[in-house]
Structure 1
Amino acid sequence: MAVGGFIKLPGGTVVVALGLPHPACPELAVRVVVHAVNRQRALTRLSNLGFRGARLTGNAEPPTPDEVSAVLHHPDGLVWREYGALGTDPWYPISTLKRLSHHA
């Protein structure tokens, strides 16, 4: 389930958003949002975190303004929350997702 999309920002960087299986519980999905120099670098960052199957095919679900704002205001430029979460649900740093997967 790698449904997602991207947008190119005025400065030339991109924000990529993907729906991926939760590392600790593959039946659940998470929406991961990455800010990077280009799409390939964003996917490389995800791959380096253990999301080996992360691929962006098409632009079916580009990042929303909320997702862009969340990732641009996070120091790591990489946030997540449950797939299909409400707009008022919080965004989390990727380190919390990695921590959850180690405790499962």
Structure 2
Amino acid sequence: MAAGGFCKLPDGTVVVALHLPYGSAGVRVLVHARNRARALTRLRNLGLRAVHLRGNAAPPTPDEITAVLHHPDGLIWRTAPAGDGVPAGELWHPIRALLRGPAMAQG
């Protein structure tokens, strides 16, 4: 369902990045967890049941890794970029802000 990827950190934890359908453009979600399976479980426990990571086509960038490591929950999102860039001026949001919005698109 989701394009994305992961990066294993020196301490053995991982950062998983996923592109999820939401609204017109979708969102990029970052999860910091002990391993890939746990990262996906964290999202599924929030109600995003159909989340899967296949391959490593879009791993998190160094800036994305820094952002998720500095967030207390280790779970953030922002609007997915339309092209190669970052949405202009958009900051990362806690996952709670996404789940309060309109229902996630079912795919």
TM over 0.5: yes
- Alpha-carbon distance in structure 1 between the residues aligned to 2:62 and 2:32: 13
Q: Are residue 47 (structure 1) and residue 44 (structure 2) matched?
A: yes
Q: Matched residue pairs, number?
A: 99
State the match for 1:60 in structure 2.
Answer: 57
2: CA distance, partners of 1:66 / 1:56? 21
Deviation at 1:79, TM superposition (A): 0.2
What's the offset of the Cα at 1:28?
Answer: 3.6
In the TM superposition, structure 1's runs of 4+ consecutive aligned residues that sit over 2 Å from their partners are 85-89
8 Å Cα contact 1:66/1:87 also seen in 2: no
Q: After superposing the two structures, state which structure 1 stretch, 6-15 or 48-57, moved more.
A: 48-57
- Tell me the residue number matched to 2:72: 75
Q: Deviations over 1:65-97 (max 9, x none)?
A: 111011000000000000114374200000100
Q: Counting helix residues as a fraction of each chain, which structure ranks higher?
A: 1
- In structure 2, which of residues 29, 36, 45 is the aligned counterpart of residue 32 of structure 1? 29
Q: CA RMSD in A?
A: 1.5
Task: State the Cα distance separating 1:32 from its structure 2 match.
Answer: 0.3
> TM (normalized to structure 2)?
0.85
Q: Helix, strand or coil for the counterpart of 1:12?
A: coil
Q: TM-score, with normalisation over the residues of structure 1?
A: 0.88
- Identical-residue share of aligned pairs (%): 62
Q: Which runs of 5+ in 2 are unaligned?
A: none
Q: Residue 17 of structure 1 corresponds to which residue in structure 2?
A: 17
User: Shift of residue 8 of structure 1?
Assistant: 0.3
Q: Any unmatched runs of 5+ in structure 1?
A: none
The letter of the residue matching 2:54 is T
Structure 2 distance, partners of 1:50, 1:29, is 17
